A and B are shown apart, each in its own frame.
Chain A
Amino acid sequence: MLNNKEYINKIFQSNKPLIIYKTVGGYDVYTDFKEKIFLNSKNFKNFLNKKSLKLKSNIEELNCYIGFFGFQLLCENIKVKLPKQQSTNFYPGIVYKPQTIIKIRKNITIKSLLHNYKDLKFSLSRNKYFFQKKFNLNLNELQYSNLFKHFSKKIKLGETYQIKICQTYKNRSKIDAIEFFWKLMKINESPESFLIRDNDYSIISCSPETLIQKKKDVITTKPIAGTLNRTKKMTKNFANNFFKKNEKESKEHNMIVDMERNDLSRICRAGSVKINKLKSVEEYRDLYHYVTKIKGKLKKNISNHDIISAMMPGGSVIGCPKINTLKLLNSREKINRNIYTGSFGYINANGNMRFNIIIRSILNYKNRVEISTASGVVIDSKPKKEYKENYIKAKSLLDLFKT
């Protein structure tokens, strides 16, 4: 029989559907999916609140649904309608019920509800992979700066206080998701990284942003606002000083902190929402991020759907105030964001949850690859700088296609 390492290599090389999620000290691999639920705005609420979510087996980690909610699904869930956009008709959202979890830490351990999981037959992948370096970008610098000016006017009129312009890179490729994922982890391992590989699509992401971490009745969110392009000589201390002294970055961050406090306050007990760690700096390969951690204690009788509706789509990737800014964005964005600024994660039967914001992601569907990126317009922003920031954010993903 295969040992654990041989087994995991074999399934990586196969075309078996699986999910990898970064966790503290390693990665969790979920597979042997018993159920796959296609989500849409009609069944979303029912799925989140349904009783079968409470069915229990003796392996706690497997009493969960894991998957993604697309941006459109999350908008429609809070009754924000999207106009007709250019779309690849990708799935609005999918969740899976796993029967096997493989924990990659110093050692590899496997827990499964199936007795014979190692004997299950699956074919080795015969996919023909191909990819190219060149990408098409949906907004050039001039188009970007026109949109920028349009939104700046809206800020002056008080219709929005901060708004994130999204750009999308696309090309024709079919990538080996597993290979790309590990390549990405080598250069940019971030706390909310994940991969989904299914028969007809794959997603890989090195998201740094935790949107919901719920344990019992304590809920935590960790919004990011503020990005600094990292150069070779730069230290974390330098980044810290930069953010502290930079009025524009501070104000942008303040706004997001108050907005996330607001979203938690919708579902948390009076007086329980507290800033846990204000304005710390996190370090990544190409950039530094400015991050705050906020916590609250949930009110009684709050459903999963209440939590998702209060928190998603995550405010830090949209702007502020959420509803009006979404309306302004949607009226101007011509292509569907698909998974971008949606959310990936799991809900466990014991009520615990973990969800991220899907950014720094590659979606590969129907031999098309798309990578989206966004940065914020506030009153002191400069279009040239924000345009460049978008490129910096996409860079480590675009680089994967060069080697």
Chain B
Amino acid sequence: MIYIIDHEDSFTYNLAHLLEGFGPTFVSNYYDLNRKKLERSNIIVFSPGPGDPSHYPETQKVYKKYKGDKKIIGICLGFQQILYGENANIVPQKKIYHGYQSKIKVLNESALFKPNKIFLGGRYHSLKLKEPFKSSSLKITMRCVETNVAMAIEDTINNVYGFQFHPDSFLTVDGKFLIQKIIQS
């Protein structure tokens, strides 16, 4: 089962709509977690949402508890929540990307996607990962072609993945494929 932790976003169900195609999917609010279902799930997804990762201590606890145990996927805020859980700083960026379509490039570090491939992705974020960022297992695997901002992470040891952009957005070309690769990895 896929368990989506919803941070009361207006894009969460776009993600659920995509994920439902890969298996039973359960959505709950971040303040109303179903512990039994969370325990039974094999994939946990952190949804997009307003604010920054420090606003959601409950989700941080879930990350710490299940990291390495279950596959964890984070989208937008969820992506930042994973990084925040790895002691990264999440900071405001100069240019704000709400409803923006950007060219995104796959880096050589990616284990799942074809390096150097460039595709279009839909973005909804005013905050970003502050770099340099160092981690022993988590790798930055995609970047914005124009600004070089981190767009995806992969940790194949602990089975943790994330996208700063929205594979669920109609602005992302073939977002379903991106999700499928991670679900089936």
Interface string of B98-131 (1 = CB under 8 A from A): 1111000000000000000000001011110000
Interface positions, chain A 241-269, Cβ under 8 Å from B, are 250-255, 257-259, 261-263, 265-266, 268
A156 contacts B13, CB within 8 Å?
Answer: no
Q: Does A320 contact B (CB under 8 A)?
A: yes
Residue of B nearest to A154 (CB): B50
A321 contacts B50, CB within 8 Å?
Answer: yes
Residues of B within 8 A of A254 (CB): 99-101, 122, 169-171
B interface, over-half SS:
mixed
Q: Does A315 contact B (CB under 8 A)?
A: yes
A258 contacts B14, CB within 8 Å?
Answer: yes
A258 contacts B11, CB within 8 Å?
Answer: yes
B14 contacts A261, CB within 8 Å?
Answer: yes
When the two chains form the complex, which single residue of B21, B126, B169 contacts A156, counting CB atoms closer than 8 Å? B126
Residues of A within 8 A of B96 (CB): 155-156, 379
Q: Does B17 contact A (CB under 8 A)?
A: yes
Residues of A within 8 A of B171 (CB): 254, 258
Residues of B within 8 A of A268 (CB): 17
Residues of B within 8 A of A321 (CB): 8-11, 49-50
A: which residues have CB within 8 A of B? 155-162, 250-255, 257-259, 261-263, 265-266, 268, 270-271, 273, 275, 278, 315, 320-325, 378-379
What are 9 A-B interface contacts by the 8 Å CB criterion? A156-B96, A157-B92, A158-B50, A161-B50, A251-B100, A271-B17, A321-B11, A321-B49, A324-B8
Q: Tell me the smallest distance from the CB of B76 to a CB of chain A, in Å.
A: 9
Q: How many A-B residue pairs have CB under 8 A?
A: 104
Q: Does B57 contact A (CB under 8 A)?
A: no
Q: Does B166 contact A (CB under 8 A)?
A: yes
Residue of A nearest to B20 (CB): A270
Given A257-B170, A258-B122, A270-B20, residue A158 in contact with residue B100 (CB < 8 A): no
Q: In the bound complex, what is the Cα–Cα distance between A127 and B16 (angstroms)?
A: 55
Interface string of B20-53 (1 = CB under 8 A from A): 1100000000000000000000000000011110
Q: Tell me the smallest distance from the CB of A153 to a CB of chain B, in Å.
A: 11
Interface string of B150-170 (1 = CB under 8 A from A): 000000000000000010111
Given contacts A254-B100, A254-B171, A262-B13, 9 further A-B contacts (CB under 8 A): A158-B92, A162-B98, A251-B99, A254-B169, A271-B20, A321-B8, A321-B10, A321-B50, A378-B98
A interface, over-half SS:
helix
Q: In the bound complex, what is the Cα–Cα distance between A277 and B6 (angstroms)?
A: 29
A160 contacts B50, CB within 8 Å?
Answer: yes
Q: In the bound complex, what is the Cα–Cα distance between A258 and B101 (angstroms)?
A: 13
Residues of B within 8 A of A158 (CB): 50-52, 77, 92, 125-127
Chain B interface bracket (under 10, 10 to 19, 20 to 34, 35 or more): 20 to 34
Residue of B nearest to A299 (CB): B20
Q: In the bound complex, what is the Cα–Cα distance between A324 and B12 (angstroms)?
A: 14
Given A258-B122, A262-B14, residue A157 in contact with residue B51 (CB < 8 A): yes
Residue of B nearest to A294 (CB): B170
Q: In the bound complex, what is the Cα–Cα distance between A160 and B8 (angstroms)?
A: 12
Given A156-B126, A161-B124, A275-B170, residue A255 in contact with residue B98 (CB < 8 A): yes
A315 contacts B21, CB within 8 Å?
Answer: no
Given A156-B126, A253-B99, A379-B96, residue A259 in contact with residue B16 (CB < 8 A): no
Q: In the bound complex, what is the Cα–Cα distance between A253 and B169 (angstroms)?
A: 13
B50 contacts A324, CB within 8 Å?
Answer: yes
Residues of B within 8 A of A323 (CB): 8, 10
Q: In the bound complex, what is the Cα–Cα distance between A251 and B171 (angstroms)?
A: 10
Q: Tell me the smallest distance from the CB of A294 to a CB of chain B, in Å.
A: 9
Residues of B within 8 A of A157 (CB): 51-52, 92, 126-127
Q: In the bound complex, what is the Cα–Cα distance between A255 and B98 (angstroms)?
A: 7
Residue of B nearest to A271 (CB): B21
Residues of B within 8 A of A315 (CB): 10
A263 contacts B11, CB within 8 Å?
Answer: no
Q: In the bound complex, what is the Cα–Cα distance between A133 and B166 (angstroms)?
A: 49
Given A271-B21, A320-B10, residue A258 in contact with residue B166 (CB < 8 A): yes
Q: In the bound complex, what is the Cα–Cα distance between A159 and B101 (angstroms)?
A: 20
Q: In the bound complex, what is the Cα–Cα distance between A122 and B13 (angstroms)?
A: 51
**B10, B50, B96: residue with the most chain A Cβ atoms closer than 10 Å:** B10
**B16, B17, B77, B127: residue with the most chain A Cβ atoms closer than 10 Å:** B17
B99 contacts A161, CB within 8 Å?
Answer: yes
Q: In the bound complex, what is the Cα–Cα distance between A220 and B174 (angstroms)?
A: 23
A262 contacts B99, CB within 8 Å?
Answer: no
Q: In the bound complex, what is the Cα–Cα distance between A227 and B27 (angstroms)?
A: 35
Residues of A within 8 A of B12 (CB): 262
Q: In the bound complex, what is the Cα–Cα distance between A252 and B100 (angstroms)?
A: 9
Residues of A within 8 A of B21 (CB): 270-271
Residue of B nearest to A256 (CB): B99
Residues of A within 8 A of B122 (CB): 254, 258
**B12, B49, B126: residue with the most chain A Cβ atoms closer than 10 Å:** B126
Q: In the bound complex, what is the Cα–Cα distance between A268 and B14 (angstroms)?
A: 11
Residue of B nearest to A162 (CB): B98
Residues of B within 8 A of A262 (CB): 10-14
Residues of A within 8 A of B101 (CB): 254
Q: Tell me the smallest distance from the CB of B163 to a CB of chain A, in Å.
A: 15
